[in-house]
Structure 1
Amino acid sequence: MFQQPGYIEYVSWRLSEVFADIGVDERIVLKRRRTWLLMASMATLSSQLKDENGSVYFLGSQCEGTTTPGLKSDIDQLLFYNDFNLIQNWADWEPGVCNYLMIQDETVSPGYCLLQRLRNDAPLPGNDVPDQYHFRDRTGRILLNNILMSAVAADAYEGGVRHGPAYTKQGRPGLLDTDIVFAFPCKSWPLPARQWLDQQGAGQWPSADMRKYCSSNGCFVVGVGCKGSENEELEWRISTSLAERCLMYNLNITQIQCYVLMKMILKTFIKPHFEDVISSFMCKTVLFHCIANTYSHVWRENNLLVCLSLCLSVLYNNILHENCPHFIIPGNNLMRGHIPHESKPYILEILQYIIKSEGRAILEIECDCLFDRLHLKLSDFLSFKINDIISGHLLLTTALEVDKNLLEYLLLTRNRSYKEAIQQLLRGIIKLVIISNQCQGLDKTACSLLAPWFCTTLGSVLASLSIHQCNAISADALTLISLGLNTDVSSCKLKLASMLYCIGDTQRTEVVLRDIEANYDPNIVEPVCRCHDYIEQARKRRFCAKCDNHNEEAIKYTTAFCVKFLPCEINCVPYELRQEMYRSTQEDLAFRGRHDDWMDLAVVDSLPYFYFLQYKTYNNLRRHEDKQRALSNLVRTIDQEPNIGHRETALNLLGQCMEQEDRTVVALRCYSLSLSVRERNNAAKIHICRLFSNIISNQ
């Protein structure tokens, strides 16, 4: 079939169009990259705000933009602390920090190193074994055992599973798992990779500028030894992940599509039978070698099938000889110990079948409905694009990271006095301003996304204090609150409405609520909550469509964060919601998880809280029809909105509204439903006890 004139070009074009439909085109790839780079900036910023001397990188398929919804690629996160100084040259030793010398001699597997502990007061070898993670070898060197990283990961992420150097953290229901790698940074380029900086193949790739950039970013070491090595627990793998990310960022769209297609083939034909034998990183390495040794004009969209055949042929040859040299450190054979003797003939047979099929095997790929989409393309029908859905997912990923970082910082102040909370929040704002003035690009964007939330929270704390003192809201509080009113559609405005309601300013409360209603389109706006894990449903089509043409700025008019009140904001919280701060009995506390500290706050989803405040406000204004409309909307929202993170709290508010309506039986039903959502650590127990007490008293 390859011999038919124009066949390769025609099918390659159509296949490239299919990839564009499922989010593998230049625009969506760049959108993915921006999202995950911004996520890394926010995560690192959050670490700095908590005075942790660490940095975060997102790597792998999600950050590269080399995935699709059907591939369901994990999130790869690399964390490191800057308190360690790894050196390859004694001249790089630094006083006052933990220095380790990277030993890379003939006793160490290629691509790995030993870490020798050095003294922190002089550039000399360490003499003492400080803890159980260090070992004195036969020559007297104090070496660091790589099980340290497992201990660090296990302490940080309870319940995770180790897989190589990564520690897999179970994702929220319906979301992706995260592979977390703890690493030590080394500022200098690894010695075994020095030769790579001067090599150049037929493809003139990577360019001299790319190699220079790669070498300037140094490397990492991660806690895993070479499989089968006699020093497996003492060896540390040298990682050039930032250099590899640079290479991926410099691929053209055909090269990216070829890599994604290889991963789909892996998922369809290899992994169901031989789960961990061939990795996507091996496929990426094969792609790098092919690009470096092939003229650049080969990599074009109408030649995608030929490019795929080339890569699969190289992969076949690698498996045949059980040797896949690392692209940057060629001495490191990625397939060493990975190809079981009994599996090898079958894997080769599968690859040979795909190569000889001249593209027909692609029609067997069910991932992302590739077969159906390609069939429709070849039949000259248009297939449905999912770029909107991908864009919506990326925006929500960013919004959830904002919410996560905000919550983590708020929890630092949850048990503080007014004075301490104000100082803590002010310190965070000042630090954000300083960092913002010193950075640019996405780092500055990260600061601009977080700072307004801090301002609103500080303003609310100041308002709570002034309400406590004189039942009024200070000018400073209002100024700070105003700085964050446009963070999202509703949550910060709801805080303003809430505090106005608490001082009895019903008219201004109604004005703020009217403004929220004008901007909150339930057909577009999506709830955002990172307080706890819950099963999330598919997002609204119009929300996703809105996100497709925007980046993180769309958070302002397409998302509604849950509303969080610290205990020191209690005077800005209506009585009905205050009970959420006391949801846990002494017995309930034992059933909290390590990530349940949010339960010390009063937290409620925006839309139910909006309708609750409307109900209370219209009741005070004696606008009966508007009050009943708000109550009906509250009922409908609880019943029909699929992505409410705090449904039990919304039901508790509804129950209290029903009590006010003298509908006692319905109120009790609301509290019972609330307990069915969250059996323990639920303020519904307080409401039920109070309700029964009132019934008995009235009798």
Structure 2
Amino acid sequence: MQESFRIYPRPELQVSDEEVKKVSEILSNSMFLTMASACKTKAKKNEILMQEFLYFLRQKQLLRRYFGGSAAEGTELSTSDTDKMIVGPYIHVCFNPKDGENVTGHTFLVDTRDSSQGYGKLVLLTSDSSILTIFDKNGCPMKDMIEENEEGEKLLPSEKVVEFWRKFLEKRQTATGPPKTHQHGPCATAVTKDPSGYIKKEVGGVLEQDFAHGLPFCRMPFEGEEWLRERENFIWPSMNTLERIKMLDCHVVAVGDKTSQHSSIEWRISYLLWERELVWSFNDVQLHCFVLLKSLLKKFIHPIVPEELSSYHMKTVVFWEFENTTESFWRRENLITLLRNCLLRLQKSIKYLDLKHFIDRSRNLFLGRMVDPGIKDELIEIIEDIIKNILVKSMQCIDDIDLATTWQNSHGNVEEFLQKCRNDHKRNITTDVEESRHSVELYYNGQASWLINVDNVLANPGMLNKYQKAFEDKTRTKDFDEDFLQSVAMYVNMRSALIQVKEMLQLKNDAVTDEHFKKLVITMNENSDIDAISGKLYVVTALLVFDKRDEASSRIKGIFSSSESCRKYVYTGLCSTCKTIEVARQTMVQVKGFPKTENLLVAHDMIFAKEDISLLPAALKFECLVDRAFLVHPAVYALYLRVLCSKLDEKMKNIDHLKRAVIECEGTNHNYRHFNILGYCYYEVRYFDLAYECYSASISQTAQDGRPNAAILMLLTLLFTVRENIM
């Protein structure tokens, strides 16, 4: 193991090594709460693996879609895109013809002659025209994808495959129309807008998704086998991580070496799944170092030299640094030193134009880059400046907590900086974050399962049934954390039961319907622990639609009752910026920040689809008319249901509680819908002026971005009612 570099601070700041450690802890704590953590990465792993598993089921277990890059790793920045690799059946590659002898479909030999390390041409080895590939099934026969060269070899050109995917994506319909497409390395990139802000956290935000086509190896490449053998001499990655990696495929992706004359027909060997697993194994500080390095690249290097360095180079640098640093050194107080080490390694790699691929160690990632010596020298100077100002530069990379201004106001005095951090920042960034770890872990785990549920709300009964059967097969679900799998499975069961409730509304045999409904309520009760609140509210929704008002009212009271003086939940959704829901004195209150008590549970947003119109109470029927699917904050929905269940003399008091919850949700992209619910409550008790104010407030929130808003329909209903009363 190499010795860790020592930081030599700038003389004018007079920052000692011990003071650097204190600042490092502040940086690490801040990143834990806002940007990256092992909690987040672990949850992201569950979410991504589940998305891939359900996609495989939807595609009749033929087509796979893998997620890569920062969005899959849990290390994304605000500018990060989504990377996807599509892997179809019946096309494989190999280095040795013997490895492809018993493979069904089409097999290609990876010919690395005349190619740089890590690249090769795909020469057709065996082909079965009776077996249809993804190309055949989408109007482009396999025989038309293959070209013959001067030597008579039949090749699969990478350029042709990328063009196939670009045209394929052009034909897709999204919520905002067909995407714009272009080629980006091995990917066909689809550019769309995020209409609801679920992904980019911004309504109408530009959403770029890179689709690469991957072909799996019949057998692991030699370089991969060699890398695994050598890992026995290193502490990182752990043996558990290596065992998982051994089970994962390697691929070739459709991109050639830009310096090659044969670039259009070359493919690149990819270890995407291996590298993803490595990042998923990072601890907090390793993640903080990686994310800071990427952020420094985006903020301080790309504005000056935009093309030469990528996030993948940063990932490779930290892989090498982690391998060569003792495990005990990856601690919060050493973050700045570790980051500096990575920058020095990057600087040295640029100087000698040599950055080896972490797995395929014969491949130089800087081959063909920085051919202009002036650019190389400029990069070295930029990195040198970052190293000299590493404290303030790192602080400028922190999201949501303005450490840079605090540092500036402290005039570089560390003790004054620490005191200001204690006094000026609401979040607890000066003490050990371990007291917040449980809440943060719950938040990300809950958010991961809820995001899967957002997708599943649109699944039809047949697909939900497929999911249910797959979840029962423990051999197929062993990679998921048990609590995460249980939450997702419960939502699928709940969703299936709600669809049956909708179907029962159409039956006319009251005796049969009532008996069946009782059984469904039992099923829903058994699956109501999706989270602490939303699962129970789905059951109340079903009870109300069947006019079981007394039972619904009793259950609502149970949700607002507590044996404790105040019960707290970690809120995981998008409808409020508050991360805590407190239940006390028969109401729900939202609070900023994470709760720090023990025995916490999570609370998800309610998720409904337009097909639920017959199931939902009146205010939400309007929402079904304008949105394919939508969210409602659990506190808002619970208080709305209590308004519906309350007697006339209690209605206004409960509407006041609802109004408070709506106000507490201000500042998100979804609060307009809450104003619609509140407005409809005022409408039903004939407070028409207050209803009008709510609808107007709702419309003002969506007027600029043009989102469909049910407030228009509700306002028309209100005006019609007022007109009828006048006449």
Class of the TM-score when normalised by the shorter of the 2 chains: 0.7 to 0.9
Tell me how far apart the structure 2 counterparts of residues 276 and 119 of structure 1 sit (CA, whole Å): 40
User: Residue 446 of structure 2 contacts residue 604 of structure 2 at CA under 8 Å; is this kept in 1?
Assistant: no
Tell me how far apart the structure 2 counterparts of residues 278 and 352 of structure 1 sit (CA, whole Å): 15
CA offsets 1:611-661 (integer angstroms, 9 cap, x no match): 33222221xx34x1x211111223333344126665454444434333332
Select 2:532's aligned residue among 489, 507, 522: 489
User: Residue 113 of structure 1 contacts residue 235 of structure 1 at CA under 8 Å; is this kept in 2?
Assistant: yes
Select 1:350's aligned residue among 382, 398, 405: 382
1:560 equivalent to 2:604? Answer: yes
CA offsets 1:366-419 (integer angstroms, 9 cap, x no match): 222566569565568364545589987775555454344334333243xxxxxx
User: Residue 502 of structure 1 contacts residue 573 of structure 1 at CA under 8 Å; is this kept in 2?
Assistant: yes
User: Residue 28 of structure 1 contacts residue 391 of structure 1 at CA under 8 Å; is this kept in 2?
Assistant: no
User: Residue 201 of structure 1 contacts residue 292 of structure 1 at CA under 8 Å; is this kept in 2?
Assistant: no
CA offsets 1:47-79 (integer angstroms, 9 cap, x no match): 144245345555555666767xxx657366444
Q: Using the aligned pairs only, state the percent identity.
A: 20
Number of equivalences: 651
> One-letter code of the match for 2:573?
V
For 1:612, the equivalent position in structure 2 comes to 640
CA offsets 1:335-389 (integer angstroms, 9 cap, x no match): 233325132222223344566x4xx543444222566569565568364545589
Q: How does 1:109-508 map to 2 (within 5 A)?
A: 109-117=116-124, 119-121=126-128, 130=142, 133-140=145-152, 141-146=154-159, 147=162, 148-151=164-167, 158-159=179-180, 163-165=184-186, 167=189, 171-174=199-202, 180-182=210-212, 183-193=214-224, 195-196=226-227, 214=245, 217-248=248-279, 259=290, 262-263=293-294, 265-267=296-298, 269-289=300-320, 311-339=342-370, 341=372, 342-352=374-384, 357=388, 361-365=390-394, 366-368=396-398, 372=406, 377=414, 381=418, 383=421, 385=428, 398-413=445-460, 421=461, 424-434=463-473, 436=474, 438-442=476-480, 444-467=482-505, 468-469=507-508, 470=510, 472=514, 474-508=517-551
User: Residue 108 of structure 2 contacts residue 126 of structure 2 at CA under 8 Å; is this kept in 1?
Assistant: no
Tell me how far apart the structure 1 counterparts of residues 250 and 36 of structure 2 sit (CA, whole Å): 29
For 1:38, the equivalent position in structure 2 comes to 46
3-state secondary structure, aligned to 1:474? helix
Query: Which one is further off, 506-515 or 130-139?
Result: 130-139
For 1:90, the equivalent position in structure 2 comes to 97
Task: Compute the displacement of 1:663 (Å).
Answer: 2.9
For 1:417, the equivalent position in structure 2 comes to none
Q: How does 1:519-534 map to 2 (within 5 A)?
A: 526=571, 528=573
3-state secondary structure, aligned to 1:22? helix
User: Residue 28 of structure 2 contacts residue 332 of structure 2 at CA under 8 Å; is this kept in 1?
Assistant: no
User: Residue 68 of structure 2 contacts residue 84 of structure 2 at CA under 8 Å; is this kept in 1?
Assistant: yes
Tell me how far apart the structure 2 counterparts of residues 656 and 260 of structure 1 sit (CA, whole Å): 45
TM-score normalised by L of structure 2: 0.74
> One-letter code of the match for 1:136?
E
> One-letter code of the match for 2:496?
L
> One-letter code of the match for 2:376?
K
1:650 to 1:367, Cα distance in 2 relative to 1, 3 A: closer
1:80 equivalent to 2:110? Answer: no
Tell me how far apart the structure 1 counterparts of residues 365 and 26 of structure 2 sit (CA, whole Å): 32
Task: Compute the displacement of 1:322 (Å).
Answer: 2.5
Task: Compute the displacement of 1:450 (Å).
Answer: 1.4
3-state secondary structure, aligned to 2:691? helix
1:310 to 1:87, Cα distance in 2 relative to 1, 3 A: same
Aligned-residue Cα RMSD (Å) equals 4.6
1:218 to 1:172, Cα distance in 2 relative to 1, 3 A: closer
CA offsets 1:494-513 (integer angstroms, 9 cap, x no match): 23222322333322121111
User: Residue 439 of structure 2 contacts residue 570 of structure 2 at CA under 8 Å; is this kept in 1?
Assistant: no
Tell me how far apart the structure 2 counterparts of residues 653 and 196 of structure 1 sit (CA, whole Å): 59
3-state secondary structure, aligned to 1:573? coil
Tell me how far apart the structure 2 counterparts of residues 56 and 393 of structure 1 sit (CA, whole Å): 29
1:178 to 1:401, Cα distance in 2 relative to 1, 3 A: farther
1:608 to 1:94, Cα distance in 2 relative to 1, 3 A: farther
User: Residue 527 of structure 1 contacts residue 644 of structure 1 at CA under 8 Å; is this kept in 2?
Assistant: no
Tell me how far apart the structure 1 counterparts of residues 609 and 130 of structure 2 sit (CA, whole Å): 52
User: Residue 389 of structure 1 contacts residue 544 of structure 1 at CA under 8 Å; is this kept in 2?
Assistant: no
Task: Compute the displacement of 1:225 (Å).
Answer: 1.9
Tell me how far apart the structure 2 counterparts of residues 353 and 111 of structure 1 sit (CA, whole Å): 33
Tell me how far apart the structure 1 counterparts of residues 656 and 235 of structure 2 sit (CA, whole Å): 67
Task: Compute the displacement of 1:451 (Å).
Answer: 1.4
1:346 to 1:485, Cα distance in 2 relative to 1, 3 A: same
Q: How does 1:571-586 map to 2 (within 5 A)?
A: 571-581=614-624, 583-584=625-626
1:41 to 1:105, Cα distance in 2 relative to 1, 3 A: closer
Query: Which one is further off, 498-507 or 211-220?
Result: 211-220
> One-letter code of the match for 1:612?
Y
Select 1:627's aligned residue among 648, 651, 658: 651
3-state secondary structure, aligned to 1:528? coil
Tell me how far apart the structure 2 counterparts of residues 496 and 381 of structure 1 sit (CA, whole Å): 49
> One-letter code of the match for 2:360?
I
Tell me how far apart the structure 2 counterparts of residues 296 and 486 of structure 1 sit (CA, whole Å): 39
Tell me how far apart the structure 2 counterparts of residues 660 and 261 of structure 1 sit (CA, whole Å): 53
Tell me how far apart the structure 2 counterparts of residues 208 and 574 of structure 1 sit (CA, whole Å): 54
CA offsets 1:535-556 (integer angstroms, 9 cap, x no match): x746459574238979xxx6xx
3-state secondary structure, aligned to 2:595? helix
User: Residue 425 of structure 1 contacts residue 454 of structure 1 at CA under 8 Å; is this kept in 2?
Assistant: yes
Tell me how far apart the structure 2 counterparts of residues 499 and 201 of structure 1 sit (CA, whole Å): 57
Tell me how far apart the structure 1 counterparts of residues 451 and 287 of structure 2 sit (CA, whole Å): 31
CA offsets 1:598-619 (integer angstroms, 9 cap, x no match): 37xxx6443333233222221x
CA offsets 1:567-626 (integer angstroms, 9 cap, x no match): 3x5554334433443x25xxxxxxxxxxx6337xxx6443333233222221xx34x1x2
1:225 to 1:318, Cα distance in 2 relative to 1, 3 A: same
1:545 to 1:518, Cα distance in 2 relative to 1, 3 A: same
TM-score normalised by L of structure 1: 0.77
3-state secondary structure, aligned to 1:343? helix
User: Residue 471 of structure 2 contacts residue 477 of structure 2 at CA under 8 Å; is this kept in 1?
Assistant: no
> One-letter code of the match for 1:47?
Y
User: Residue 221 of structure 1 contacts residue 238 of structure 1 at CA under 8 Å; is this kept in 2?
Assistant: yes
CA offsets 1:132-162 (integer angstroms, 9 cap, x no match): 6443333331314341444455556734765
Tell me how far apart the structure 2 counterparts of residues 479 and 659 of structure 1 sit (CA, whole Å): 35
Structure 1 portions without partners, runs of 5+: 414-420, 585-595
3-state secondary structure, aligned to 2:251? strand
1:43 to 1:315, Cα distance in 2 relative to 1, 3 A: same
3-state secondary structure, aligned to 1:411? coil
